[in-house]
Structure 1
Amino acid sequence: MRRLVPRTLAGQAFLLQVVAILVLVIVAGSLAAYDARRDSERSARDQVVAIAVALADSSSTAEAITSGSATARLQPVTEAVRADTDIAFITIMAPDRTRFTHTDPARIGGKFVGTIGPALAGRVFTETYTGTLGPSIRAVAPVRASDGRIVGLVSAGITLSGLADRWLGQLPTIAVVTVIALLLSVAGTWAVRRRLLRQTRGLRPEELRVMYEHHDAVLHAVREGLIVIDHGRVALVNDEARRLLDLGDGPVALEGLPEFAGTAEELRDVLYLAGDRVLVVNRSGVSGSGVDRDGGGAAQTTSAVITLRDRTELQGAMGELDSMRLFAESLRSQAHESANRLHTVVGLVEMGRGDEAVRFATTELELSQHLVDRLTAAVGEPALVALLLGKSAQANERGIELTVTDETNLSPTGDSSLDTDSVLSSAELVTVVGNLIDNALDACDRDDPWVEVTVHEDSSGLSIRVADSGPGMDAEEFARARRRGYSTKTAVEGALDPGRGLGLALVSQTVERHGGTITAEVTYGSVVIVTVPRTAES
């Protein structure tokens, strides 16, 4: 028996549906046949009652009975009516059961076999009774004279065998309708089976169950955020995505997700800020999902699969590594320049120009030492001093004039002249100032390249201002740059560099975490201003 049961889900569904259809069709056919029999019996009773009453109420019937010539006058009439109505018999009798008419003339004058009591009492009634012609459904009606006396009875009947012939004649029609319904149902079920077979790829129910359980377990256990959107509806948000986006438990609406969920564009390793996290977002549209379910054309939000990776800790480490790399490059550049200056000094000494050698060496040293002394005196944070020195060397190599203004004044973190710690930690200062300077170095005008940096802290809080000679950004572009990975610098002509554009987003994240603000304006240049107020905790 197990070999007879189909293995695929589509096959099993088809078999179950065929069995159900067979049962339904057989039951329906049986009920139709039963209903045809009941209707035939009901129709027969109505017919014999109507014939009996019509003959009984006819004045000619009562007149023929009272005149003594009932048989001669009524026998032709009853036979004509019986032939026209296709019933078994019509018998007209006296109140004592003596027959005046009968289908078989030989039985005229004999006694009627059956119940007549209710008719003698003046009522019309029906019954099923076995008479001389066999079992029959019959009706008996009283015949009244003009004075109201019951002078006779009329009985009309249909034999059960004749009635069976009537309703059995409907069975072929019922059978044809039943077979047609069965064929149409099986054909429809076969079409459903084919569609189901394509959609399930011929998998068995247990295979589908195992696939779903493994699919669900993998999606929720994977250490990458996953969001599945189906025609504008959030179909799946796994555990990691809920953690990264702070969604909590329960259903998730599309409106409750960040903007990258509702966009229709393809995203590849795009950086987004979600709270205090830096996420790498990829969004891929599902093939064939561009038309909505109602057939109304292209959907506004197509189905898509979105993946999220947490890059927060990695980005922080990369920021510190970039700072160290820039500082190392600055030291390498200075060492290279120092070697060049040393060779020059040695050459001047060998040429006997000792005074010029001393003057050349001390001038370069004084300029470099002056910058170091000025930054060390104004900025009490060694990490920030190293960053500014490194950025100065980097700007010098690129032919950009980088200026740290005289307004710069920053207390060392953990040892402030204001008897309180600095508003931002050293790592946060490096993140904010370093990214702002990097953006300025990239954006400044190449015909007149300059960058100006001011870092000032007082009792009210911290202010950082970075200006450059570039064109700046409008409000919409600046908001977009703060919201997600965005860059106006191209890696290859005509294409945005996907590895850039996180600077302002990281700055915005750090500033907002401390309740600060970041604004941009275009005055004497493109100016970005960061303000972080001092709170009771800072």
Structure 2
Amino acid sequence: MRKWSLASRLLTGQLAFILCLSAGLSWALYLQAEQHSYEETADRMMSVAETIAADPFVLESVKTPDPSALLQPYATEVMETAHIDFLTIMAPDRTRFTHRSESEIGKAYLGSVDQALAGSSFTEVFTGTLGPSVRAIVPVTDDGGEVRALVAAGLTVDRVAIARDAELPAVFIISIAALAWGTLASFLLSRYLRRTTQDRRPDELADLFAFHDAALHSVREGLLLINNDGELVLYNDQAAELLGLTPGTGSPVDPRDLGLPATLAELLHGGRTAVDEFHFTPDRILVVNQSPALAPAGPARGRPGRQGRRPAERRLGTVTTVRDHTEVEALTGELQSMRTLTDALQAQAHEHANRLHTIVSLIELDRPAEALEFATRDLVQSQQLADDVVAAVGEPALAALLAGKKAQARERGIALVLTVEEVPGDGSGPALLDSGELVTIVGNLVDNAFDAVQGLPDPEVTVRLGVVESAGSRGFELTVRDSGPGIPAESRSRIFEQGFSTKDPVQAAGAGRGFGLALVNQAVLRLGGTLEVGSHHAGGARFTVRLPLPEGARP
């Protein structure tokens, strides 16, 4: 039996139980039928005895010198008419006046008479001259209440057994019907369990559950199971960590009530298929895959149906996997930032090469004073920009980026206006910010502004940066403003989505657009800042970044 499946064990156990139940039911019904037969016979005998005792002929006959001569024919007629085995009319001293067998007349009655002599009627089962019988004894009283005679009417136990046996077919039919219906129900339940459990043994099911539970909690990716109602029913520890959920499982809950980002919550609740979709949380970049969980709906699970066709499938819900892509995106952002910085430095190097050629040409033309003045003026301008940026922000990398962007703007014919706010307070300088994050934020915002004004008449981009104080705390503030056409109102809610771009779709696809602002938004979130987008009075887009600075830190 150890090799039997769960369905087989359940079927065997249920059949044994139903068999015992049917046997018990049969025995109970048999005893009930027997009890009912005795009670019904006793009631009938009591009715017959009471009727005879109430007959005035009996009272008058017992007062005569020879009661038997009058009562024996009377008793014989009653026994034949009422179909009873005996009707004994006796004196209070037990002397029989009547009997089924005339040889017993005049002899003492066998049985209890005490209650009848006291004036009470009763029934009993007693073994007399005819064998065991069910009998009723009733007193015959005169007008004064004195007991003048006793009447005993009875039916032998064999006749009672015949009446009982007449009810046995109904008892057996009920028992057999209960056994048949119980067996059918057990078979159908066993068949359902066999199909549901794929005829596995209990130990196999336990091992399978243990393996699945171990796999659920050991995978490095977040795993979520969602039912057809869009409710989250199960998730592993990694998913809880990535999404900020409470570890463990409870009752099904709507993902929209868990404080998840709106796009991710709608994806989980809606159950649509997703392949490598990026979703942003306040501190993570997640790659989400989602697909329906399907199971064969037909009886032959996993086996081809007729003509090689597989049975129809039913949807159980959706399975969602979540991967942490934050580190990869951070590396991508750093790479993009380095590319931006490299492009800017290449533009600056190109411009410096042109200026160096100019200085060399002035020297060759024997005009050293003008060459010295040109070189000094260029050095002062470059050094002033670097000093202003370093003094305000404390980041040489940002100063190099802005210097390169200024050179890049000159090459593209764009007027880049850099404004560095004076550091308020005691002049000790603000705290250092992460240079990689700053380069990502500033480089992408300035590049987007350049793209927005490229080809327009009088293109201009304004960059204002510095440290400001608000409510007693310091923070870094960056504003990038352009004179382009601005951002359409219907697109402002989506411009920070990865892959979304306001550029021409063909050009955007070829240039890998739709990632810059998403990286900027994620960098701002990692630094605990805010990013606002709007339009200024002269038209064009305006991006404002505010980043908190640790209090008391020095550059």
TM-score (norm 2): 0.76
Kindly provide the CA deviation profile for residues 452-482 of structure 1, in whole angstroms up to 9, marking residues without a partner as x: 34241134232222334244254x8545555
Distance 1:322 1:507, change over 3 A: closer
Deviation at 1:379, TM superposition (A): 2.4
**Which of 54, 59, 68 is the aligned partner of 1:62?**
59
Deviation at 1:72, TM superposition (A): 5.7
Deviation at 1:514, TM superposition (A): 5.2
1:170 match: secondary structure: helix
Is residue 547 of structure 2 the alignment partner of residue 532 of structure 1? yes
**Which residue matches 1:427?**
436
1:15 match: secondary structure: helix
Q: Structure 2 matches for 1:96-495, cutoff 5 A?
A: 96-230=93-227, 231-251=229-249, 253-254=253-254, 255-256=257-258, 258=260, 259=262, 260-261=264-265, 262-264=268-270, 265-287=272-294, 303-329=317-343, 375-380=385-390, 381-388=395-402, 403-409=415-421, 418-422=427-431, 424-437=433-446, 440=449, 452-460=461-469, 461-468=475-482, 469-474=484-489, 478-479=492-493, 485=498, 487-488=500-501
Cα distance in 2, alignment partners of residues 435 and 23 from structure 1: 82
Distance 1:218 1:439, change over 3 A: farther
Distance 1:435 1:537, change over 3 A: farther
Distance 1:305 1:57, change over 3 A: same
Deviation at 1:495, TM superposition (A): 11
2:332 match: secondary structure: helix
Structure 1 stretch 22-31 or stretch 97-106: which is displaced more?
Answer: 97-106
**Which of 19, 22, 31 is the aligned partner of 1:22?**
19
Superposed CA RMSD: 4.2
For structure 2, the residue ranges without an aligned partner over 5 or more in a row are 297-314, 470-474
Cα distance in 2, alignment partners of residues 494 and 158 from structure 1: 112
1:406 match: secondary structure: strand
Kindly provide the CA deviation profile for residues 1-21 of structure 1, in whole angstroms up to 9, marking residues without a partner as x: x4xx66222222222222222
Cα distance in 1, alignment partners of residues 60 and 399 from structure 2: 139
TM-score (norm 1): 0.78
Q: Which amino acid aligns with 2:396?
A: P
Cα distance in 2, alignment partners of residues 385 and 309 from structure 1: 36
Determine if contact 2:495/2:501 at 8 Å carries over to the other structure: no
Cα distance in 1, alignment partners of residues 178 and 456 from structure 2: 86
Kindly provide the CA deviation profile for residues 280-325 of structure 1, in whole angstroms up to 9, marking residues without a partner as x: 2222233479xxxxxxxxxxx9832221111222221111111223
Q: Which amino acid aligns with 2:336?
A: D
Q: Which amino acid aligns with 1:263?
A: H
Kindly provide the CA deviation profile for residues 81-101 of structure 1, in whole angstroms up to 9, marking residues without a partner as x: 545654432222221222233
Determine if contact 2:494/2:500 at 8 Å carries over to the other structure: no
Q: Which amino acid aligns with 1:406?
A: L
* Overall identity of the aligned pairs, in %: 34
Deviation at 1:227, TM superposition (A): 1.4
For structure 1, the residue ranges without an aligned partner over 5 or more in a row are 290-300
Kindly provide the CA deviation profile for residues 393-449 of structure 1, in whole angstroms up to 9, marking residues without a partner as x: 88889x7x65542324588xxxx9831334632122123223434555666787679
Distance 1:451 1:312, change over 3 A: farther
**Which residue matches 1:518?**
531
Cα distance in 2, alignment partners of residues 442 and 63 from structure 1: 136
Cα distance in 1, alignment partners of residues 15 and 410 from structure 2: 85
Distance 1:45 1:72, change over 3 A: same
2:418 match: secondary structure: coil
Determine if contact 2:282/2:525 at 8 Å carries over to the other structure: no
How many aligned residue pairs are there?
501
Distance 1:494 1:464, change over 3 A: closer
Q: Which amino acid aligns with 2:53?
A: A
Deviation at 1:242, TM superposition (A): 1.7
**Which residue matches 1:292?**
none
Distance 1:516 1:56, change over 3 A: same
Deviation at 1:243, TM superposition (A): 1.7
**Which residue matches 1:296?**
none
Cα distance in 2, alignment partners of residues 216 and 375 from structure 1: 61
Q: Which amino acid aligns with 1:18?
A: L
Determine if contact 1:333/1:393 at 8 Å carries over to the other structure: yes
Deviation at 1:183, TM superposition (A): 1.6
Cα distance in 2, alignment partners of residues 382 and 63 from structure 1: 142
Distance 1:162 1:428, change over 3 A: same
Q: Which amino acid aligns with 1:379?
A: V
Cα distance in 1, alignment partners of residues 378 and 195 from structure 2: 76
Kindly provide the CA deviation profile for residues 208-243 of structure 1, in whole angstroms up to 9, marking residues without a partner as x: 111111111111011111111224443222111122
Determine if contact 1:241/1:308 at 8 Å carries over to the other structure: yes
Q: Which amino acid aligns with 1:405?
A: V
Determine if contact 1:323/1:387 at 8 Å carries over to the other structure: no
